[in-house]
């Protein structure tokens, strides 16, 4: 799972500054403030841009062929691009912990996430529904109840079908956000490093145990064909994906406190182990490459190539590109492929979904998100000033 001059979580959120061991104010042993050094951690924007482009390429090659050519490969399959999702999850763990530790109260975190995620997502869902109906995009012929439930972003958790195949990752992100929100409520917005370390340890232990138990039901089996009871357990506990968030959180702490780097490396190794247990060596090897890329970047002060302007550009529009490229891209490529040929058609489609993402970003992520944040903060202020109802006589 960026905004104009800002960062994102899955593909959205605030960009973490390049942090060093931080100056902190202590109260009762808890961290109550973090004073990062100036400047944003631009390398995460770069990683996010690479991840988004990789996912798009995977859909314009093998993904498109699976829908319109019966799986017969018309061009080299960029299957590796699908692992951009794992990279997004690593980044999300890093960025969301940073965002949560900045929250003064739990509602800060809720407003931040809701204002950034939903306005542009609703635009993308609406366009995807219209395009899927008009152009009859394969695998999008779902009922209207399913289409309407897609506006919640958690349709996967409610057992409704996705309009767009990429939306399944957003429900996973929402599960992670709910966990962080619960911790903010329970701790009164004081997420100490010790608490995060305990959470990560428990999460990894549960994931490894459940993965071992589920291995006979997942190894060599398409995730969609896993037995429903096991699928529900794996989804509920985020067995496969939780370790990526956990490793990202540890990487954030390790960037603040270098003594934690061995733990961050161990956590990244844990994501490889879970992938191997559930799916075998091939997937574990791909996850290892993604984990190594993420760790190398977040443990360095600067990675110049990720600051290259085109990569930064795609990092800024990555959320809009991610949620808006698939259905629209499939329809457009299918429409122009007979005229342009496949290679030129892919190039035109890639340029088109990039342009559409720029529009989504400008209007949805920048303009509407700002309006949503202002409105939600005003609503919170009004509710907090509302006088308590008078007690009934006789009670």
Query: Which candidate, 380, 370, 352, 323, places its Cα nearest to that of 9?
Result: 323
Q: What is the pLDDT of residues 256-312, one digit of tens each?
A: 888 888 999 999 999 999 999 999 999 999 999 999 999 999 999 899 999 999 999
Residues of the chain with pLDDT below 70 are 1-39, 386-395
pLDDT of residue 391: 52
Question: What is the predicted pLDDT for the residue at 223?
Answer: 85
Q: What is the pLDDT of residue 36?
A: 42
Per-residue confidence (pLDDT) for residue 387, from 0 to 100: 63
Structure tokens at 341: 């040929």
Quote the pLDDT of residue 386.
Answer: 65
Long-range contacts of 256-264 (CB under 8 A, 24+ apart): 256/19, 256/20, 256/21, 256/22, 256/34, 256/193, 257/21, 257/193, 258/21, 260/193, 261/299, 263/197, 264/295, 264/298, 264/299
Task: Give residue 257's pLDDT.
Answer: 85
Residue with tokens 């960009």: 15
Q: At what angle do helices 369-385 and 106-134 cross, to 10 degrees?
A: 140
Degrees, nearest 5: CA angle 294-300-304: 90
pLDDT confidence of residue 367: 96
- What predicted TM-score, i.e. pTM, was given to this entire model? 0.88
Residue 225 is predicted with a pLDDT of: 86
Per-residue pLDDT at 388 = 54
User: By C-alpha distance, which of 13, 21, 160 is closest to 100?
Assistant: 13
Whole-angstrom Cα distance, residue 174 to residue 118? 12
């Amino acid at each position: 799972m960026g905004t104009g001059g800002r960062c994102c979580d899955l593909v959205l959120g605030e960009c973490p500054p390049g942090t060093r061991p931080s100056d902190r104010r202590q109260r009762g042993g808890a961290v109550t403030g973090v004073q990062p050094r100036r400047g944003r951690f631009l390398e995460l924007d770069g990683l996010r841009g690479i991840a988004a482009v990789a996912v798009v390429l995977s859909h314009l090659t093998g993904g498109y062929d699976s829908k319109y050519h019966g799986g017969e490969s018309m061009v080299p399959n960029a299957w590796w691009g699908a692992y951009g999702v794992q990279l997004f999850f690593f980044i999300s763990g890093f960025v969301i912990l940073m965002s949560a530790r900045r929250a003064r109260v739990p509602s800060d975190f809720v407003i931040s996430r809701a204002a950034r995620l939903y306005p542009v997502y609703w635009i993308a869902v609406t366009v995807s529904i219209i395009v899927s109906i008009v152009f009859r995009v394969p695998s999008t012929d779902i009922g209207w109840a399913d289409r309407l439930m897609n506006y919640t972003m958690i349709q996967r958790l409610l057992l409704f079908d996705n309009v767009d195949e990429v939306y399944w990752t957003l429900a996973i992100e929402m599960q992670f956000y709910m966990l962080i929100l619960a911790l903010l409520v329970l701790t009164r917005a004081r997420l100490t490093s010790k608490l995060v370390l305990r959470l990560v340890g428990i999460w990894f232990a549960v994931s490894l145990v459940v993965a071992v138990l589920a291995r006979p039901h997942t190894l060599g089996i398409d995730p969609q064909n896993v037995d429903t009871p096991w699928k529900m357990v794996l989804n509920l506990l985020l067995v496969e994906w939780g370790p990526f968030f956990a490793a990202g959180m540890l990487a954030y702490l390790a960037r603040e406190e270098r003594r934690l780097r061995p733990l961050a490396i161990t956590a990244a190794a844990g994501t490889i182990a879970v992938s191997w247990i559930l799916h075998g060596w091939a997937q574990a090897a791909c996850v290892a490459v993604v984990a190594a890329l993420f760790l190398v970047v977040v443990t360095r002060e600067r990675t110049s190539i990720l600051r290259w302007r085109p990569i930064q550009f795609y990092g800024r529009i990555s959320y809009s590109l991610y949620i808006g490229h698939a259905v629209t891209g499939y329809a457009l490529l299918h429409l122009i492929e007979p005229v342009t040929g496949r290679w030129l058609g892919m190039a035109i489609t890639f340029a088109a979904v990039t342009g559409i993402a720029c529009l989504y970003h400008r209007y949805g992520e920048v303009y509407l998100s700002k309006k949503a944040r202002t409105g939600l903060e005003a609503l919170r202020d009004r509710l907090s000033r509302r006088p308590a109802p008078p007690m009934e006589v006789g009670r």
